[in-house]
Amino acid sequence: MILPRILILVCLFSSCVSFPLIQDKLNSYTKQKYLHTISRISLPPDPAPEAVSPSYNVHSGSSITTFNVQSFGAIGDGVTDDTQAFKMAWDTACQAEKSGILLVPKGYSFMIQSTIFTGPCKSGITFQAPNGDSLPSVCDSPVAIRFFMSSNLTLQGLEVKNSPKFHLRFDVCQYVDIELLNINSPARSPNTDGIHIENTKNVNIYNSVISNGDDCVSIGAGCYNVDIRNITCGPSHGISIGSLGIRNSQACVSNITVSDSVIRHSDNGVRIKTWQGGLGSVSKVTFHNIYMDTVRNPIIIDQYYCLTKNCPNQTSAVSISDILYSNIKGTYDVRSPPMRFACSDSLPCTNLTLSEVELHPIKAQVLSNPICWNAYGTMQTLTIPPVFCLLEGMPQSMQQSDFAGC
């Protein structure tokens, strides 16, 4: 069930975590060969600010009750297991009639095992702790922090470092506001997605800095109404929708916007990736005002996603339609084409729209040609490089049953 005004938290503290606060111009063109040279690149969007810690004095009213973990037996000597004291403090705050603050005081080292804080609670709770790193753990916990079946959830000013896998994960949540986060792990650390959402809707991710070994933000199946804005991403694998449709599963994703962001020194920029054999659809996606700084694959749709290179060909696929790329500019690594639209043989990508796209090689003076396969769309303006490989109009037949139900 969806829990009103409740935060459900799974904390697996083998990573280092700090908790400040948890609360046209329309150009005509002809299809011919061009030799483009480097031209002046338009100014990028403003980079995202460094994540900062909000004030601890946010709640000053007398109606707020403070639940200090030390009042429930937490020692904080760096040796004693304080897990039960934290759980007791949470449970007490959860059952309180009025909103409260679960306070972790400064100057102590609290030892916490993998912990689940559950609800439903009678009122809102703020989890407040000082800046600082948790002590490293020998446990191989997969996710630093996970939120499950939570509603009206706010994360602000959180810093997460060196998670063994996903830094933050949201499953079956709604009305999620994420802002002023700083997420950091080594560029070669696998599967360390910064923020991953799955079966989650009405999400805002703003004003954050993410550097890791996988996707800065990854959007899984069942996500709707997601707004990602003013993100500084990289080094990383960029911002991704997917992977979707693994093991012939259904995936429905729509109303996604990524805007006003910078992606630098990353394997990918903005990406949609699906497995063969899946069902469902990705639709109504906008990538707008994004600056690429030395990105290997700035724009990519891959409907043949496979980790082993031995995946069998399958006819069904997740449908991809109504995708807008607008005002995307910057530089790319010449090892790969700047744009690749590899769409399903049986279910083409449709209504792909490109406007004001300028992507230049970081070193070479001659642009690489984009790659298209079974991709239908238009250039509203002449892109650099031009995407003449897009097919015009709509395919004669579409297997509607493959994506029905979304």
Peptide bond into 120 cis (omega under 30): yes
Task: Identify the architecture of domain 9-53+131-394 in CATH.
Answer: 3 Solenoid (2.160)
Bridge pairing between strands 77-81 and 109-111: parallel
Q: Which residue has the tokens 């493959």?
A: 402
Between CA 123 and CA 108 the distance in angstroms is 28
Q: Would the pLDDT of 262 be above 70?
A: yes
Residues 6 or more apart whose CB falls under 8 angstroms from that of 32 comprise none
Q: How far is CA 116 from the centre of its chain?
A: 23
pTM (predicted TM-score): 0.78
196 catalytic? Reply is: no
Which of 237, 265, 288, 360 does the annotation list as catalytic? 237
Query: Dihedral of the CA atoms 53, 55, 56, 61 (nearest 10)?
Result: -150
Contact in structure between 222 and 197 (CB atoms under 8 Å)? no
Q: Where are the beta strands (DSSP E) in 303-404?
A: 319-332, 339-342, 349-361, 371-373, 375-379
- Where do the structural domains in the chain lie, given as residue ranges? 9-53+131-394
Q: What is the pLDDT of residues 76-111, one digit of tens each?
A: 999 999 999 999 999 999 999 888 899 999 989 899
Q: What is the pLDDT of residues 219-254, one digit of tens each?
A: 999 999 999 999 999 999 999 999 999 999 999 999
- Structure confidence at residue 403 (pLDDT): 58
Residues 6 or more apart whose CB falls under 8 angstroms from that of 307 comprise none
